[in-house]
């Protein structure tokens, strides 16, 4: 695994216009992104039709075209997780449009999918990824740090220890804010469609 300093330096070089730096980044971070993509593909999030390789390749293409003012590995992986989520959502919307008139997805809760511990996160095929993405965007607007923790664990697959190191936080803080983020998302997704909280 590449060190944080190596990745940060390459990200800065890429931002400065060095395409070779991005080639090195793809080599250093490919396994991280492949692992991230594999979890998403094999869990069949949002009824997509993508393979792991296709998702990683599409994510790298989109990331290459973005000038983000890259800060560090955490920033890159967080944006990569968001990028993959966006690709899957776009693919799911396309599939949904193609299957108009089909049965509605039944509602699936977050309890088993966002556990309090570091168990493997598993999304059922019927899970509404579009609703989760909308809730995550609201969480980002309300509390960026909690969003980062949820996104790095759920989206990028980092352990609580890795997140603590990336964000320079205590492990207890990461766990506490993960629990808060999970509870917040559950409440948001369980809210009636008119937006009123129960």
Mean pLDDT along residues 138-145: 92
Local confidence band at 19 (pLDDT 50, 70, 90 cut-offs): confident
Fold type of domain 1-100? Rna Polymerase Sigma Factor; Chain: A (1.10.1740)
pLDDT in tens, 180-192: 998 888 888 876 5
Q: Is 108 left (phi over 0), alpha (psi -120 to 50) or beta?
A: beta
**Of the ranges 32-41, 82-91, 111-120, 154-163, which one carries the lowest mean pLDDT score?**
111-120
> Where in the chain do CATH 1.10.10 domains reside?
103-198
Query: What pLDDT is attached to residue 197?
Result: 39
Fold type of domain 103-198? Arc Repressor Mutant, subunit A (1.10.10)
Local confidence band at 70 (pLDDT 50, 70, 90 cut-offs): confident
Query: What pLDDT is attached to residue 96?
Result: 67
Higher pLDDT, 82 or 164: 164
3-class DSSP string for 107-160: CCCCCCCCCCCCCCCCCCCCCCHHHHHHHHHHHHHHCHHHHHHHHHHHHCCCCH
> Where in the chain do CATH 1.10.1740.10 domains reside?
1-100
pTM of the model: 0.57
Query: What pLDDT is attached to residue 1?
Result: 57
Separation between Cα atoms, residue 93 and residue 35, nearest integer Å: 24
Separation between Cα atoms, residue 22 and residue 185, nearest integer Å: 34
pLDDT in tens, 71-119: 888 888 888 888 887 887 777 777 766 665 444 443 434 444 454 554 4
């Amino acid at each position: 695994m590449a060190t944080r300093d190596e990745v940060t330096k390459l990200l800065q070089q890429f931002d400065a216009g060095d395409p070779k730096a991005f080639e090195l980044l793809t080599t250093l971070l490919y396994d991280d992104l492949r692992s991230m993509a594999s979890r998403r593909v094999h869990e069949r999030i949002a009824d997509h039709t993508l393979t792991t390789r296709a998702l990683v390749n599409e994510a790298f293409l989109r990331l290459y075209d973005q000038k983000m003012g890259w800060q560090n590995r955490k920033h890159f992986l967080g944006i990569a997780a968001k990028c993959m989520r966006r690709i899957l959502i776009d693919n799911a919307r396309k599939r949904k449009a193609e299957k108009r008139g089909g049965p509605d997805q039944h509602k699936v809760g977050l309890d088993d999918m966002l556990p309090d511990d570091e168990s493997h996160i598993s999304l059922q095929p019927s899970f509404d990824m579009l609703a989760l993405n909308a809730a995550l965007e609201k969480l980002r607007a309300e509390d960026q740090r909690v969003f980062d923790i949820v996104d790095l664990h759920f989206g990028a697959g980092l352990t609580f220890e890795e997140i603590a190191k990336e964000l320079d936080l205590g492990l207890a803080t990461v766990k506490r804010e993960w629990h808060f983020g999970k509870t917040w998302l559950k409440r948001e997704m369980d809210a009636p469609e008119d937006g009123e909280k129960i």
